[in-house]
Structure 1
Amino acid sequence: MLLRFRVANMRSLRDEQELSFVPPPGEESGAASTLTLSDGKDLAVFPVLGIFGGNASGKSNVIAAMSKMRDAVVSSYGEWTSYDGIPREPFALDPKCAAESTFYEADFVLDDGVRWTYGFELSDRRVDAEWLHAYPHGRRQVWFDRDVSRERVFEFRGDRLQDRALLARTTRSNALLLTRAANDNHPQLTPLHRWFVDNLWDITPEAERLQREAFTIEQLLEEENRERIEELLRVADLGISEARAEVRSGQRPTVQLLHSTGEGEPVALDWTRESFGTRSWFAMLGPVLTALDRGAVLLIDELDASLHPKFAAEVVRLFQTPSVNTHRAQLVFTSHAPSLLSLPRGGRLLDPGQIWLTEKDAGGGTELYPLADVEPGEEEDLTDSYLAGAFGGVPRMTPGKIGRSLRLKDALRDAEEADES
């Protein structure tokens, strides 16, 4: 499970920002699950975090940063070259940031209960720093530490890590040691590399929908998955009673959804005639169910972009329900929809510690903070307070401001034209 993620100098995330799945001190949450660590201690961890904020506030960049860290771990050894340099996007509004490194760090727990901290810093042509720490007994163990500012770049504490000299000698300056080790199936480091391969999947409902539709269709071909997908289509109240998938050699997989008519046999519509919302919901089901089955961390940017708020809330509930989420999968999503903050009949879909807000500071940098820091009242309507701007994270705009600005611009233009005539 992912505990914390930190990033700095990536797109609008100029200063170091942290996203935490661990409830803040003093917050009792029924949404958090209990994770037993290898040292015997229990730790509460949220299964879902939602990031809310105005347009261009940087919430999508948090998702992008997590995905970029995964990409670096997965591909630095095979795809990064000295000719092309290291792919990164430093903060663009301050020229000094181009010369500063981009920072990533993740705290996570593997299946054996051991907590790990792994991170690195990247410049345009090299890995400036990289580190790996373990906490098998509650205290930090430094497995390796890399720093190009030292004469001896790689340091290994004790004799925990196998093949230390070989790894130090064969890891390129523009590749991560973790990726290099996994390339040779290093017995100790490959499971850590595998965690990144199997987690931090980034999807956007409105992008790559055809690929996700095809993926969900393939899931339909398996009996167990077909029953679950059909059930989720039925409970979404789309009038769908059955889904039929077909895969032909050399062709794109196809699907037909059978719609109940109330009388007689269900009617199958051509896939192109299905509504955008139905297709978006269908395309979401494959990745969501796969993440739940594998206990993965799923990243969804703009969850509500092409889904009705009720559908988006159902995705959240799938991860929040222990009887469904039996493998401790986690979800991070961004949204504009304040309806995801409160339930229609009162209550809250997410606890304050699960709600994160983004705002731009005076220099254009994104600030990321949990709603728990604002300390909302226990009975406070989070939707109303959020829309009123009590928590931040919403555009600073009074009703009618855009219209008034347009009318003023038109009036000024008319006055200029009158003066010229």
Structure 2
Amino acid sequence: MLRSFQVTNHRSLAETQELRLTRGGGPIPVPVTAIYGATASGKSSLIDALARMRDAVLHSVTGWDPYAGPARTPHLGHPDRPTEFVAGFVAEGVPYTYGFRLDTVDVTAEWLHTHPRSRKRIIFERRGTEIKIGPQFEAARFGVAALVPLVRPNALLLSLAGQMYAEALVPAYRWFSSVLEVRRGTPEPAEVAHRLGAYLSRSPDGAARLLGELRAAGLGITDVLVAEPDPMYADYLRELDADIAGTAKQVDLCATSPGHADQLEREHGVTALVLARELTTLRAARDALYTRMVARRGVGLNLVHAGIETPFDVTDESAAGLSLLGLLPDVLDALDEGKVLAVDDIGARLPAELTAGLIGLFRAAETNVRGAQLIFTGDECALGGDVRRSDAALWRVRRTENGTSELDAL
């Protein structure tokens, strides 16, 4: 879960702005966080900042030019000021605070703290080229100390440690890679077809659920046709799907029955945490294999509309249909796995009642059983007029006379 997000000097967010995903000062985040504001007020800058932080954690080692400065987009009026991102989140049941500061040349600061029983413990703190490892984490044992000389001045230690599987830093890295999802802009039809086909191909239950939501949307879509898996990949996909289903069942049993978790560890030496990590790894492997199959032969996806004999290609869909098809797999995936999903301009090209219905899936306990969170920018009508319920955090972004954006709680 994500508790808070803070950003300084990114696009229109020149001064430090903090988004808290709780209400009433409590520690438990609400399932829905809505961010409103006028056109060009800076709403998209906030979602983009969250995406940039995630991208830096995942790709600063492999994706950033080693001979250039860190990838950042400061406010045009303050190009020489540092950019900073800080997130407070819970990963594998433990609260963390992670942040980093960038200038035009290097990573000038980076830190990861954990907060068991509300006590701060330093995992590591970085200032310039100096990196301090917290005494509780026995750096040599976990391999963090061995990575310190290898990290580039313009890359993140968490990025390197996550890819090298330094145990003390793995939970935080996996939170960014497996729990946080950010969607910006309008996806291309090919990307929509890929996401839709990937979700539909995972399980019959998931496919039936997605199809039910599409039919209920009232856009005329009655069925989705997907080509059979390429024979070269079919057996591998079936094996992965069976492994995923079996591991997911064990994870659920461990969550609902402490006795089962104890028995599993006693008899097989496998903990619930190891199972949860294995499930994430299997799902990522499945997605990668599906992507390779699609690159070889295409998605092979068509949509059936009521009263029309010829199936539609994704490119034939209306703007509303394309928007829903692009968003629905992400929404259902977040609900299925308890993810944090951030969406910029969630109501773009969608009728207000459809947007409210998607948001309602996160607000309803019967559909959001894994504690998924939705963060979105949009219009106040997206919550159906009921914007002050206790299950939603509400924020407004406004443009100042200095050309900067400021965030205010409602």
- TM-score normalised by structure 2 residue count: 0.77
* Residue of 152, 155, 180 corresponding to 1:172: 152
8 Å CA contact retained: 1:342, 1:350: no
Aligned-pair RMSD on alpha carbons? Answer: 2.2
> What SS does structure 2 have at the residue aligned with 1:359?
strand
Higher RCO (CA-CA < 8 Å; seq separation 6+): 2
Is 1:279 the counterpart of 2:263? The answer is no
Q: Which residue of 2 aligns with 1:356?
A: 395
1:241-275 deviation digits (Å, cap 9, x = unpaired): 322212575332233333344xxxx7453224432
Partner of residue 212, structure 1: 192
1:262-307 residue CA offsets vs partner (Å, 9 max, x unmatched): xxxx745322443221222122221111121221111111111121
How many angstroms apart in 1 are the aligned matches of 2:71 and 2:338?
A: 29
Residue in structure 1 matched with residue 404 of structure 2 by the alignment: 365
Letter in structure 2 aligned against 1:90: P
SS of the residue corresponding to residue 74 of structure 1 reads helix
Q: Is the 8 A contact 2:12 2:405 kept in 1?
A: yes
Gap regions ≥5 residues in structure 2: 231-295
Q: Indicate which of 302, 305, 313 corresponds to 1:259.
A: 305
Contact 2:34/2:395, CA 8 A, preserved across alignment: yes
* Corresponding residue number in structure 2 for 1:3: 3
Following superposition of structure 1 onto structure 2, how do residues 78-89 of structure 1 map, counting pairs within 5 Å? 78-89=62-73
Q: Shift in Å at residue 226 of structure 1?
A: 1.2
Query: 1:384: which partner in 2?
Result: none
Distance across 2 between alignment mates of 1:362 and 1:165 = 47
- Provide the rounded CA distance (Å) in 1 between the counterparts of 2:372 and 2:169: 22
Question: Is the CA contact (8 Å cut-off) linking 2:223 and 2:304 kept in structure 1?
Answer: yes
Matched, 1:236 2:217: yes
Q: Distance in 2 between matches of 1:353 and 1:198?
A: 24
Structure 1 55/352 Cα, relative in aligned 2: closer, same or farther at 3 Å? farther
Contact persistence 1:353–1:370 (CA under 8 A): no
Structure number having the greater helix percentage: 2
- Paired residues of 2:81 and 2:103 also in contact (CA < 8 A): yes
Mapped partners of 1:353, 1:284: distance in 2 = 20
Which structure is larger by alpha-carbon Rg, 1 or 2? 1
List structure 1 runs of 4+ shifted beyond 6 angstroms.
Answer: none
Partner of 1:291: 334
Q: Secondary structure at the match of 1:369?
A: strand
What letter matches 1:339 in structure 2?
A: C
Q: 1:213 to 1:14 in 2, by over 3 A?
A: same
1:165 CA displacement: 3.3
Query: CA separation in 1, counterparts of 2:189 and 2:92?
Result: 32
Q: What percentage of residue pairs aligned between the two structures are identical?
A: 32
Q: Secondary structure at the match of 2:211?
A: helix
Residue number among 245, 249, 267 corresponding to 2:226 in the alignment: 245
Q: Is the Cα contact below 8 Å between 2:6 and 2:18 reproduced in 1? A: yes
The amino acid across from 1:304 in the alignment is G
Give 1:205 shift.
5.7
Indicate whether 1:325 and 2:368 are aligned.
yes
Aligned 8 A contact 1:342 1:349 in 2? no
Check conservation: 1:52, 1:356, Cα contact below 8 A: yes
TM-superposed CA distance for 1:312, in Å, is 0.9
Please report the TM-score for the alignment, with normalisation by the length of structure 1. 0.76
AA paired with 2:9?
N
Please give the alpha-carbon distance, in whole angstroms, between the structure 2 residues aligned to 1:360 and 1:116: 31
Q: How many pairs align?
A: 340
Cα displacement (A) at 1:78 = 1.6
Work out which of the residue numbers 269, 273, 277 in structure 1 matches 2:311. 269
Contact persistence 1:143–1:161 (CA under 8 A):
no
